[in-house]
Structure 1
Amino acid sequence: MGGACSRKRDQQVNEESVQRGFSSRFCKSGSSKWLGSSVHIQQERGKCPSLMELCIHKIREGISNYSSFSMLPRDLSQQIFNELVHSHCLTDTSLEAFRDCALQDIHLGDYPEVKDSWMDIISSQGPSLLSVDISGSDVTDSGLIVLKDCPNLQTLNFNYCDQISDWGLEHICGLSNLTSLSLKKNNAITAEGMNAFARLVNLVNLDLERCSRIHGGLIHLKGLTKLESLNVRCCNCITDADMEPLSGLTNLRELQISCSKVTNSGIGYLKGLRKLLLLNLEGCPVTAACLDPLSGLVALSYLNLNRCRLSDDGCEKFAGLENLKVLNLGFTDIKDACLVRLKGLTNLESLNLDSCKIGDEGLANLAGLRRLKSLELSDTEVGSSGLRHLCGLGNLETLNLSFTLVSDSGVRKLSGLTSLKSLNLDARQITDTGLAALTSLTGLTHLDLFGARVTDFGTDCFRYFKNLRSLEVCGGGITDAGVKNIKDLVSLTLLNLSQNGSLTDKTLETISGLTALVSLNVSNSRVSNAGLQYLKPLKNLKSLSLESCKVTASEIRKLQLTALPNLVNIRPE
């Protein structure tokens, strides 16, 4: 959370983090991935490294002494290569040593300075090479010519490679063994260039997210009968006409067309895709009428209608989607009447109703959804009385009640949800009294009290949450004394204490034993340069926010250089 301790309302969902775990973002410069990331041998305490690990570590340290690894067994040269990449030690010179090593995997996604000259070494792996990732690189169309020498390639990732165009696609269209191809955020590829895809007959996964010029190009996918996953998220050029060629891809299991111009008419072309498991329509101008052709897709288990034009009208069609496990209806105009139509979706494990106009009575329709593991109710009109309907959801692991009308009396109704691992109670009306009712939730790993009126007295309940990995107590009334109840939460990886203006350097001293911390925020406090010394034991710290504190950038930089080499995100800079 930021130092200002505020949340953006009606914010657009980050398409990079849509559920199902898609690839991370790549960028060409300024990446924190490689800053201070030199990999040393890291072992569990008391465990000795293996002889192989020691050898690879030694080779990496003296890499300039080796001109070729081609005589080594392939698995060993592969491990050496991977170590050089992870430790950011691979250079133009050291790369030459891997010529003709028959490597199987070249993963250089987001690695700096990858360019056309590197492709000659990459292609020298010949028929052994199965996977290449040069995402975020400076490789151009010319650099792809040499990949013809690697006929067994199965996976290619060219995400964020803005110098690869239609001409480059022609150089890979002969790779008939290719099963996975990713070209995220490429504005140089056009519908005409997509003709090259027609020859990739074994393609199973195709990712064209944020490619802005591919309208009309999906026609070239008609013959790719093995295609199972197609991602054209955030391609706002995609229209209903682009959906028609997909109607014959009967093996399609995942389709992502969020933030496109596809309407109810375009969704009609999907009614024959009976193997479809996942459909992401987030931000598309569809209404509940799109549910009619979808009701026959018996395999459909994931449906994202976030920010679509849904209202209560037509929601009776949800009854035909009884196999749904994940349903996202966030930021739509549905009300309690729509929730009546969800009663039969007893296989639901995740339901998102963020910012919908639902209230306490609507929650009664969720009482029978006993398989629910995740429930998002943020920014709804739900209050304390409605939480009584959730008492029987014994499998619930994640519950978000931020910006609702829930008060301390409602929090007490959650005490029986002993499977809860993540609880968000961002609300000014939550006080120490409400926290005291949570002591039975000993399995909590994430607790967000952003904006709640928590004092030192309320922090006493934290001692019951020994498994906490993430704790946010922002904008309350905690002092150094209250932080003592946090010091034994040794599993914490994220701690946000921002906006607690009474905290001093003593707080940093108190939490200095939380060595698992990866992210720490004590912004808008009385922390000073003198307190920074207490952060030295936090060797795993990667993110540190000290906005509006009495610290200087030079002292923080000194701390980073001398004691915290993994620190890559610092505020203030």
Structure 2
Amino acid sequence: MEQFSFNPYREVDTMFEEPLVPLVEGKNMRKLTLSDLYPEILTQIFGYLDTRDKSRVAQCCQYFNEICKNRQMWKGTEARLNLKPNQNPIYQSLSVRGVSNVQVLSLKRSLRDLTSHVPIKKLKLSGCYNVTDYSLSSTVNLENLVDLDLSLCKQITDLSLYSIVGKAKNLQRLDLGGCCNLTDRGLLLISYGLRNLVKLDLRSCYSLTDRALAYLAGEVQINEPKTFNFLAKVGLIENPNCVICKRGGSGGASSSSTSSSSSRASNKVVLPKIDEFTKFGMLKLQSLVLQDCQKISDTSLDYISRIPSIQSLNLSFCVNITDNGLKHLKKLPKLSELNLRSCDNITDTALINLKDCPTIQHLDVSFCEKICNLNYHLCRHLRTLSLSACDISDSALMAVDLGALETLNLGQCRKLSDLGLRAIAEKCTRLKYIDLYGCSGVSTKGIEAIMGLSTLKHVNLGLWKV
């Protein structure tokens, strides 16, 4: 029988209220209840419940409430809160149980109370329309924060990033998707204070230009007038002509502050001054999402190539990206995933330029209507290939090695016929998923050839007509 070892549980008295009577026929005995079990056993049992049921159990009695304070029971739990006034008991309960993942569904006041009671590791504010710069500046304790989701918080500006840089120095994942008020200056702050970011999502940040990517790559010219004035304004650099700097900067407190004023300024961010020795740039960035950032161009790809840790790059809907810009990506030794979906200026030449990137395993060029042919050297390493709505024909699929493919998307490829499907069935011996949505040129014979693959798990035939 498998042996179970339980951690000591000293917070709860494990003695029964009355001794148990052995089972003897003809004699009455007290009925055993769930509360007669040892706390260690109850901890294991309650651990199988979902979050809502755990909360209900904790409200049954004081005994169960104490047991439900075991942090192991709540490991990985995400609290979903509507922030309202006078919720300190809830925050204290989360802190006692070790719940550090929080999703804010609505916000009717600042984040001060939440962050002062709960040591948050993951904070999701996605879609909270009333999150502002003040909301983030009111946060207190973000030292443990590693994952922050601010997607669709459309009111925040670069000043919010100043607060994040000063308070969440251990941040590893940051989602700013849809924050359309962010500018290149915000990325300058990120490259200065959040150099350990692993994932950065900037999708639909329409104001970002090539200069923003230069900052991420560490290409910062402090003496440039606009850059210098911005850094002086936020108090990160000394400017003798700046009135704000003479007052100690927007992020710092005056040394002569009284006790009352210092308490009011307890949430103010104080960052080290920038000098000629200050370093910028992302050291550990692995995933970068630039979807729908339509102002970036091939110049940005040159800057991105100077971040050698990049493994995943999303450039979908970046209409100014061309074939020539993709040449720079060969400098990325770890690039394994590339998304070029709906990049209208991408042609067959782009795939030729990517042949020098042997580490790419996942490629999406869907809706790039100028792509007609594939590159042999590029395709033989791919595990995922998306060609939806491309001008791909049977001959293009027959001319390349697809032996490593596991996922193939060919939806709306009108030129595809049974001949192409038979070629796929012969070449793609590892194929697990194929999308044939809207491929009107194939018949049941081609489908039968695909279905003969032993590794195939799913086929999408939506809108397919024989």
Instruction: Give the SS at the match of 1:351.
Output: strand
Tell me, yes or no, if structure 1 residue 191 matches structure 2 residue 133. yes
Tell me, yes or no, if structure 1 residue 145 matches structure 2 residue 89. yes
Q: Which residue of 2 aligns with 1:306?
A: 291
In the alignment, the residues of structure 1 paired with residue 33 and residue 204 of structure 2 have an alpha-carbon distance, to the nearest angstrom, of 50
Tell me, yes or no, if structure 1 residue 220 matches structure 2 residue 163. yes
Tell me, yes or no, if structure 1 residue 133 matches structure 2 residue 78. yes
Tell me, yes or no, if structure 1 residue 375 matches structure 2 residue 363. yes
Equivalent position amino acid for 1:457 in 2: K
Tell me, yes or no, if structure 1 residue 474 matches structure 2 residue 462. yes
In the alignment, the residues of structure 1 paired with residue 351 and residue 362 of structure 2 have an alpha-carbon distance, to the nearest angstrom, of 14
How far off is 1:262 after superposition? 4.8
1:386-535 aligned at under 5 Å gives the runs: 386-387=373-374, 389-391=375-377, 393-414=379-400, 416-426=401-411, 427-440=413-426, 441-452=428-439, 453-478=441-466
Instruction: Please point out which of 147, 164, 174 is paired with 2:116.
Output: 174
Equivalent position amino acid for 2:145 in 1: L
Contact 2:199 2:287 in 1 (8 A): no
How far off is 1:177 after superposition? 4.2
In the alignment, the residues of structure 2 paired with residue 191 and residue 66 of structure 1 have an alpha-carbon distance, to the nearest angstrom, of 57
How far off is 1:445 after superposition? 0.8
In the alignment, the residues of structure 2 paired with residue 351 and residue 146 of structure 1 have an alpha-carbon distance, to the nearest angstrom, of 43
How far off is 1:238 after superposition? 3.4
Contact 1:68 1:99 in 2 (8 A): no
Q: Which residue of 2 aligns with 1:159?
A: 103
Tell me, yes or no, if structure 1 residue 329 matches structure 2 residue 315. yes
Tell me, yes or no, if structure 1 residue 207 matches structure 2 residue 149. yes
CA deviation profile, 1:494-515 (whole Å, cap 9, x unmatched): xxxxxxxxxxxxxxxxxxxxxx
Equivalent position amino acid for 1:224 in 2: A
Q: Which residue of 1 aligns with 2:267?
A: none
Q: Which residue of 2 aligns with 1:358?
A: 346
In the comparison of the two structures, how many residue pairs are matched?
Answer: 369
How far off is 1:164 after superposition? 5.1
Tell me, yes or no, if structure 1 residue 101 matches structure 2 residue 67. yes
In the alignment, the residues of structure 2 paired with residue 456 and residue 243 of structure 1 have an alpha-carbon distance, to the nearest angstrom, of 53
Contact 2:433 2:458 in 1 (8 A): yes
How far off is 1:419 after superposition? 1.0
Instruction: Give the SS at the match of 2:395.
Output: helix
In the alignment, the residues of structure 2 paired with residue 253 and residue 84 of structure 1 have an alpha-carbon distance, to the nearest angstrom, of 31
Instruction: Give the SS at the match of 1:342.
Output: helix
In the alignment, the residues of structure 2 paired with residue 310 and residue 79 of structure 1 have an alpha-carbon distance, to the nearest angstrom, of 54
CA deviation profile, 1:2-41 (whole Å, cap 9, x unmatched): xxxxxxxxxxxxxxxxxxxxxxxxxxxxxxxxxxxxxxxx
Contact 2:308 2:331 in 1 (8 A): yes
In the alignment, the residues of structure 2 paired with residue 67 and residue 170 of structure 1 have an alpha-carbon distance, to the nearest angstrom, of 43
In the alignment, the residues of structure 2 paired with residue 302 and residue 74 of structure 1 have an alpha-carbon distance, to the nearest angstrom, of 42
Tell me, yes or no, if structure 1 residue 73 matches structure 2 residue 25. no
In the alignment, the residues of structure 2 paired with residue 160 and residue 174 of structure 1 have an alpha-carbon distance, to the nearest angstrom, of 15
Instruction: Give the SS at the match of 2:116.
Output: coil
Residues 1:95 and 1:82: Cα distance change in structure 2 (over 3 Å): farther
Residues 1:144 and 1:268: Cα distance change in structure 2 (over 3 Å): farther
How far off is 1:430 after superposition? 0.8
CA deviation profile, 1:339-393 (whole Å, cap 9, x unmatched): 3333444532122222222222332222222222111121224555x32x23454
Residues 1:402 and 1:155: Cα distance change in structure 2 (over 3 Å): same
Instruction: Give the SS at the match of 1:206.
Output: strand
Contact 1:68 1:96 in 2 (8 A): no
Equivalent position amino acid for 1:260 in 2: C
Q: Structure 1 length as normaliser, TM-score?
A: 0.55
Contact 1:425 1:448 in 2 (8 A): yes
Indicate the larger mover: 326-335 or 198-207.
Answer: 198-207
Instruction: Give the SS at the match of 1:162.
Output: strand
User: Which structure has the bigger radius of gyration?
Assistant: 2
Residues 1:163 and 1:451: Cα distance change in structure 2 (over 3 Å): same
Q: Which residue of 2 aligns with 1:347?
A: 334
How far off is 1:412 after superposition? 1.1
Instruction: Give the SS at the match of 1:173.
Output: helix
